[in-house]
Chain A
C-alpha cells in the first residue's frame, strides 16, 4: 500500500542552493557529491547531516559548466553552505554559491537557463 502524501501545511520548507565548481581540472559529479557529503559529516556529524537533510538534484547537474543544485531544509542553509565551502577536493577547486531559492523553477529561470 502506498503512503498517503502529507497535507501542504505539514510539509517542511525546503531551500535549493545552486553552486558552481570553479577548477582547473575535470571534476566528476560523483566526486563533488562525495566531498560535500564528507564535509557535512565531518563538521556537523551524522545527527547534523540528518538535521540539514542535504539532497542532490541529479538531473540539474550541468557537466560542461560544473553547475549543480542541492536541497536542504530552509533553516539549515547557512550550515550547509559552510560545509560546502570547507569541502576539500582532490585537485584545486573553489565552490561559488550562485543562488539560494525556495523553488526549482526560480533556480532554473534565474541561473540554469542563463548559463
Chain B
C-alpha cells in the first residue's frame, strides 16, 4: 500500500537525531514518504532546519519533503512569493477568513485543521467547491483526535465526520495525516485508513486520501519546482 504522511510537525529545536528517529519509525511502519512541517519562522532558521532534514534523509529510503505552515494571511502572502523554494505550503485553519483564503489560493497545497477550536467543521459548500476548483486538499488530522479528551474529542469526531460528508458531496480532495509532533506519535497507515473508514469514508476513498492524493500533491509541486514551469497551465516545452 502506498502511504504518505504529509504533516509531521517539527520545531526549531529539532536535531538530526530526532529526524533520524522519525524516519526510522516511519520506515518500520511502511510509509513511502513523509513531510516535515514547520511553522513560519525566520529564513535563516528555516535554512538550518532544511539542512538538518537533508542530512538526516540521506541514509533513509523514504521520500522526504519539507513544508511550511502559515498561520496568518500576511504570512501566507509572504510564503506564496517564494513558492518554488518550498515543497509544501500548509495553512492552519480554524479561522473562517483563513479557511476561505486558503481554499481560494491555488498555491496552497493543504488546508490543515479547518475545524480547530470551532463548534462547526469550518467547511461549507462554498469552501468545499473552491477547494476542488483550486485543488487544495482538506486535511483530516488523526493527531487532533488523539490529543483531545472527553467532550473535545467528541467535537473533533463530529467535525471530521461533517468534513467527510461535505467533501464527498462536492468532491473536494481530502488527505489523512498523523499530525505527529514526536516520533512515537506516528501511526500505522492501516490505522489512519481505519479511522477514515470509521468516520464515514469508503475504503477506496480512504486509500486515495492516504496514498494517491498526497502523491499527486507532491508530484505537482515537483513539476512546479522545475525550470520549465512558469505558471499553472503554462510551461516551456
Contact = CB atoms under 8 A, between A and B. Distances in A.
- Same complex for A and B? Answer yes
A92 B197 contact: no
A1 to B, nearest CB: 41
A95 B142 CA distance: 15
B191 interface: yes
Given A78-B194, A78-B198, A85 B187 contact: yes
A109 to B, nearest CB: 20
B152 interface: no
Contact of B191 (A22, A84, A92): A84
A40 to B, nearest CB: 12
Contacts of A92: 182-184
Interface in B31-58: none
Given A22-B25, A79-B194, A94-B29, A86 B146 contact: yes
Give the interface centre of A77, A82, A93, A95 by most chain B CB atoms within 10 Å.
Answer: A82
Chain B contact residues, majority secondary structure: helix
B195 A85 contact: yes
Interface in B163-213: 182-184, 186-188, 190-195, 197-198
B145 interface: yes
Contacts of B188: 85, 94-97
Contacts of A85: 142, 187-188, 190-192, 194-195
Interface residues of B, number: 21
B1 to A, nearest CB: 11
Chain A contact residues, majority secondary structure: mixed
Contacts of A78: 193-194, 197-198
A81 interface: yes
Interface in B140-156: 142, 145-146
B198 A82 contact: yes
B216 interface: no
Nearest to B24: A22
A82 B192 CA distance: 7
A9 to B, nearest CB: 27
B28 interface: yes
B198 A79 contact: yes
Interface in A40-80: 77-79
Give the interface centre of B30, B146, B183, B184 by most chain A CB atoms within 10 Å.
Answer: B184
Interface of B: 25, 28-30, 142, 145-146, 182-184, 186-188, 190-195, 197-198
Given A85-B192, A95-B188, A95-B191, 14 more contacts: A22-B25, A22-B29, A78-B194, A81-B190, A85-B190, A85-B191, A85-B194, A92-B183, A94-B29, A94-B184, A94-B188, A96-B28, A96-B188, A97-B190
28 contacts: A22-B25, A22-B28, A23-B184, A78-B193, A81-B191, A81-B194, A82-B195, A82-B197, A82-B198, A84-B191, A85-B192, A85-B194, A85-B195, A86-B146, A86-B191, A92-B182, A92-B183, A92-B184, A93-B184, A94-B25, A94-B29, A94-B187, A95-B191, A96-B28, A96-B30, A96-B188, A97-B188, A97-B191
